[in-house]
Amino acid sequence: MSFTNKPSVSLTLDQVMEIVDQLSDANKLKVAKRIRRTHRSKEIDELISVFSKVKMDEKEVTALVEEVREKRYASKKARAARH
């Protein structure tokens, strides 16, 4: 026999949507935030798994960072010049 901390209920997507539609706006916002947080967490996990396989020394990382900084600075400077 096993016990879990949270009850498990099987619902279809339509049932979940029906329940969410009944929530107050504040609670709908909480649901949306939880979904975004979960999604972000999965994306971060994917990035970590990808980058954990990449072997770079500190000089390579620094060079890439500087390259990106230069591009962003040039882009920001070009935008400022247009305005």
pLDDT computed for residue 62 by the predictor: 92
pLDDT at 33: 93
Long-range CB pairs of 6-11, under 8 A, 24+ apart, other chains included = none
Please state the domain extents for the chain. Answer: 11-52, 55-83
pTM: 0.47
Confidence (pLDDT) at 2: 61
Question: pLDDT of the chain along its 83 residues, tens only?
Answer: 566 677 788 899 999 999 999 999 999 999 999 999 998 999 899 888 888 888 888 899 899 999 999 999 999 999 988 87
